[in-house]
Amino acid sequence: MADLETHDFDVIVVGAGGAGLRAAIEAQAQGARTAVICKSLLGKAHTVMAEGGIAASMGNVWSEDNWQVHFRDTMRGGKMLNNWRMAQLHAQEAPDRVLELEEWGALFDRTKEGLISQRDFGGHRYARLAHVGDRTGLEMIRTLQQRAVSQGMAVFMECKVHKLILDEGRVAGALAYWRETGRFVLFRAKAVILATGGIGKAWQVTSNSWEYTGDGHSLALSTGADLIDMEFVQFHPTGMVWPPSVRGILVTESVRGDGGVLRNTDGKRFMFDYIPEVFAAETADSEAEADRWYEDHINNRRPPELLPRDEVARAINSEVKAGRGTEHGGVYLDIASRRSADFIRRRLPSMYHQFKELADVDITATPFEIGPTCHYVMGGVKVDADTAQSTIPGLYAAGEVAGGMHGSNRLGGNSLGDLLVFGRRAGLAAAEYAQGLGAAPQVADSEVDRLTAEALDPFNRTTGENPYSLQYELQDTMHKLVGIIRVRSELEEAIEKVGQLKERAKNVAVEGHRQFNPGWHLALDLESLLTVSEAVARCALLREESRGGHTRDDFPSTSGYWSKINNTIHRDSTGETTITQEPLPEMPDELKALFEEPAK
Amino acid sequence: MTDVSTDSPRSASKGPDMVNMQVWRGDASGGDFKLYEVEYREGEVVLDVIHRIQATQANDLGVRWNCKAGKCGSCSAEINGLPRLMCMTRMSTFEPGQDITVAPMKTFPVMKDLVTDVSFNYEMAKRIPAFQPKPKDADGKRRMAQRDVERSQEFRKCIECFMCQNVCHVIRDHDENKVHFAGPRFLMRIAELEMHPHDTGDRIPLAREELGLPYCNITKCCTEVCPEHIHITDNALIPMKERVVDRYFDPITRLGRAIRRKR
Ligand SMILES: Cc1cc2nc3c(=O)[nH]c(=O)nc-3n(C[C@H](O)[C@H](O)[C@H](O)COP(=O)(O)OP(=O)(O)OC[C@H]3O[C@@H](n4cnc5c(N)ncnc54)[C@H](O)[C@@H]3O)c2cc1C
Ligand code: SF4
Ligand code: SF4
Ligand code: FES
């Protein structure tokens, strides 16, 4: 501990994606001494990959749009399991957050009138996504990064937060290590904002990068903060399927928003066969009507290809199971026969590029194969809607790591808005909390010594488990047993396997030295991966119904009981993890009334 | 779902092939290429093969990556001597049987194996004053025509892979120039702000006097390596040089303008 690099801040933000950067910008603007810590280089977080856009009811394309409609779409997309207050704040504040990005230099695509253009996306009643071609995430992260840099933000890049440290039940700081040198660094801080993103690296076919090991979820749980809804994992309907090395890479929903349709190997637009009752009133039942909708949203209903993601992913899964899939286990996405090559290249430049370079496929000339890929986790840290505070004082969470906002299924475009709205709110609240706290909490030396010794353990073993093999086995287990369609026996098997992997992970060994050693980094990430995998499988076993991103073959319909329940995960000081069923916060009557109007 | 690795008639996929990869291993104190004989499968990119080496033969092989789809700019390296994104370079583009070399970018100090210290770029970014917007319209909105935002949008496609910085001869073999030459990526950032329809700042003196725009002699090496196919030289650097000329009457850069007119 003697020569440990140590820093003091009011607020540290773990994560430099959209949520983390927006939070840090706000905390610093409030006068809090703020730092951002991230595992990759600045500007490389997952947010950079987002393609389609930011959902915000600015009404630039459809003046009929407003926050109430956006709120309703969000709740219905989430099958009413959303935290209503988060969905409301999000719908109300997203437009301001988008306009703020423009003030910081973002250059969105424009309408004919010169306003920010908005595009159609699944589950959204009106064209609502502010976008820049199909690289909206890049625009967002670069804008926030440039804003943070211009504020003189302290950024610790390629630095991984390994553990959080508490003092008398409050946040006191975080222990991290530099990826480059493997040296430890201690951050003493009054408040910590988790903005670490998701957990998708626990699955084999995923659109998520190596960073998505669920660190924030696991850090929160280990400090005693609660998680909710971990069974809800979104499988995006359209990932690449061929060649194998690109399997899982995302194909943006904008392809469908801009006119692309799904076909099986018989050439049939099969989505018409999968329109669920709840969406029947607003979904076109003929190809002609669906096709007219792109030009006239008022007199036509939306194409079934633009149903919420859970519906589309399940439909594709069923088609493939019924033998109407391609030889690589996908179905066809066809925009070539529906839009001009010019239009496709202009609206979807990076999709064009991605298929051309990675799969030798020209999407302007031919339909291409797609299939579901693990994409997003709706579950996460349980937070207070207004402040983003977790159940532990001084610990906040925003962005994908937070739970509640999206209920059981997230609508496309609602994540980027979520990052901005709740990133800002977390930054505000954390700064206020830190400034209101008298003396800084204390970090005990003995605790730091214990944690560092533990982290170096894998180097002390000459023989042991290979971290890459363990990760592979975990991904295989989650893919096969905790995928889109789940069933009791498989979930039980998954829980048992994850338990065995947890035991084996205690014996993981790494070679080489501490300097930029991905093997060691993965060995340490395994703890989070296993923690979140177990949470997902256990919650999935408990929830005996099908809803949004959780489909049970043995319980195919929704249940009245579960429609009002959040699975809430808690770990006590002995390390025992329990899951309890807590009532969903009750929506006030004036908001309930929004659902009684006839759906258009 | 069916297993995608099974053989399919159309793609006639076969079992794995073997390839010799020469991967640079070492750190700031030195290093050398190390030979790995490794499998590769149909459709794979160089990054897949590097990952296979990491998973099976060298757990501690240092490499950066995130998106695996050419979107984040993390995985830049020199492949057979050419700067490329490892995730976008398909194995099928190489002659079978040929050794493939993978080395870290040369212009930046090595940290470990394929990972370099790119902090130079982050330092340069700090030196460029941010967007300075003119007031909004009375209704609180901004109106800009699509064709007017497109010029800067082209430059904002930049994924900060820093390969243009890596090949630019002004700094590639001249470390001493790094203090007064921002490199194509950041001169382009200035151009982006200068061409933003609503920016009111003036960064021309900065570009000329402190960030080294005059050092650029429009060789276009940066443009050639840009994975986003941004016309860095033609659309950002030459117009910036023209703006400098217009302001300072610099005779040498007039040449640049003459060349451009001919196109
Ligand atoms: C391909 C793709 C396309 C998408 N398209 C859209 C879209 O069009 N619209 C939309 O709304 N959503 C989209 N999404 C979802 C959305 O992009 C993500 O949910 C969102 O960007 C997550 O942002 P975040 O700020 O929560 O986390 P991220 O941007 O993932 O950032 C996480 C940060 O936390 C850091 N971190 C993690 N663990 C640690 C640790 N232990 N120590 C230190 N740092 C740590 C990481 O380094 C990183 O900086 C897409 C997702 C993908 C994968
Ligand atoms: S055109 Fe200019 S900036 Fe680009 S590589 Fe040549 S000298 Fe460098
Ligand atoms: S301009 Fe092109 S080559 Fe240069 S950093 Fe950006 S993307 Fe890379
Ligand atoms: S991994 Fe993102 S560009 Fe290669």
CB B220 less than 6 A from any atom of ligand 2: yes
The alpha carbon of A587 is separated from its chain's Cα centroid by a whole number of angstroms, namely 24
> Which residues in chain B land under pLDDT 50?
1-13, 262-263
Mean pLDDT of A561-573: 96
Question: Which of B64, B85, B116 represents a domain boundary (last residue)?
Answer: B116
The answer to the question of residue B22 being in a domain is yes
The residues of A carrying an active-site annotation are: 236, 256
Atom of ligand 4 minimally distant from the CA of B227:
3
Tell me whether A513 touches chain B (CB under 8 Å). Answer: yes
CATH of the domain at B129: 1.10.1060.10
B123 and B252 fall within a common domain: yes
Q: Is A575 on the interface with B (CB under 8 A)?
A: no
Residue range B53-100, pLDDT digits in tens: 998 999 889 999 999 989 999 999 999 999 999 999 999 999 988 999
Q: Verify that B240 and B124 share a domain, yes or no.
A: yes
pLDDT in tens, A245-265: 889 999 988 899 899 999 999
What is the domain-level CATH number for residue B35? 3.10.20.30
Q: Which pLDDT tens digit goes with each residue over A93-121?
A: 999 999 999 999 999 999 999 999 999 98
Contacts of the segment A577-584: beta carbons below 8 A, 24+ positions apart: A577/A221, A577/A534, A577/A535, A577/A538, A579/A538, A579/A539, A579/A542, A581/A542, A582/A228, A584/A81, A584/A83
For the cut 70, the answer to whether the pLDDT of residue A1 exceeds it is no
One domain for residues B31 and B79: yes
Question: Would you say residue B241 lies in a domain?
Answer: yes
Sign for the pseudo-dihedral over CA of A149, A152, A158, A159: negative
Could you give the CA distance from residue B239 to residue B245 in angstroms, rounded to a whole number? 10
Q: What is the mean pLDDT of residues A70-95?
A: 97
* pLDDT at res. A511: 85
CA of A137 to the centre of ligand 3 (A): 17
Q: How many CB pairs under 8 A join A and B?
A: 192
Segment among A1-5, A132-136, B111-115 with least mean pLDDT: A1-5
Query: How do residues A194-218 score in pLDDT, each as one tens digit?
Result: 999 999 999 999 999 889 999 999 9
- Give A512's pLDDT tier (boundaries 50, 70, 90): confident
Domain boundary among B116, B134, B151: B116
The Cα of A485 is separated from the nearest Cα of chain B by a number of Å equal to 11
| B128 and B257 inside one domain | yes
Domains: count for chain B? 2
pLDDT of residue B16: 75
**A501-506, Cβ contacts within 8 angstroms, sequence gap of 24 or more:** A501/A470, A501/A473, A501/A474, A501/A477, A501/A530, A502/A530, A502/A534, A504/A465, A504/A470, A505/A465, A505/A470, A505/A530
Contact indicator for A264, A439 with CB cutoff of 8 Å: no
B131 & B233 share domain? yes
B29-43: pLDDT as tens digits: 999 999 999 999 888
Work out the pLDDT band at A515, boundaries 50, 70, 90.
confident
pLDDT, greater one: A58 or A440:
A58
Contact status, residue A335 vs residue A259, Cβ threshold 8 Å: yes
Same domain, B110 and B162: no
**Complex ipTM, two decimals?**
0.91
DSSP A169-194: TEEEEEEEEETTT--EEEEEEEEEEE
Does residue A490 register a pLDDT over 50? yes
Residue of A nearest to B64 (CA): A40
B125 lies in the same domain as B233: yes
Tell me if B25 is assigned to some domain: yes
Domains, chain A, in order of start with CATH, read: 31-136+151-234+375-436 (3.50.50.60), 236-373 (3.90.700.10), 446-562 (1.20.58.100)
Cβ contact (<8 Å) for B144 and A40?
no
Same domain, B251 and B180: yes
Q: How far is the CA of B131 from the centre of ligand 2 (A)?
A: 24
The answer to whether residue B7 sits within a structural domain is no
CB distance A180 to A2 below 8 Å: no
B215 falls within a domain:
yes
Clarify whether residues B138 and B94 are in a common domain: no
Q: Quick check: helix, strand or coil at residue A577? A: strand
Look at residue B102 and tell me if it is in a domain: yes
Supply the range of the domain harboring residue B223: 119-262
Of A209, A469, A520, the CB nearest to B66: A209
A104 and B130 in contact by Cβ < 8 A? yes
User: Whole-prediction pTM value?
Assistant: 0.93
Query: Are A245 and B5 an interchain contact pair (Cβ–Cβ within 8 Å)?
Result: no
Q: Which of B116, B131, B148 is the last residue of a domain?
A: B116
Together in a domain, B192 and B256:
yes
Residue scoring higher pLDDT (A347 or A66): A66
List Cβ neighbours of B223 (8 Å cut-off, separation of 6 or more).
B164, B230, B231, B232, B233, B234
Q: How much is the average pLDDT of A482-506?
A: 96
Residue B108 lies inside a defined structural domain of this protein: yes
Cis peptide, bond prior to residue A243, ω within 30 of zero? yes
Same domain? B83 vs B33: yes
Residue contact B1–A325, C-beta within 8 A: yes
Q: In the numeric block, which tokens belong to residue B39?
A: 């499998």
Using DSSP, state whether A566 is helix, strand or coil: strand
Using CB atoms and an 8 Å cut-off, which of residues 447-506 of chain A contact chain B?
Answer: 466-469, 472
Do B126 and B252 belong together in one domain? yes
Residue B250 pLDDT: 57
Taking residues A139-146, what's their average pLDDT? 98
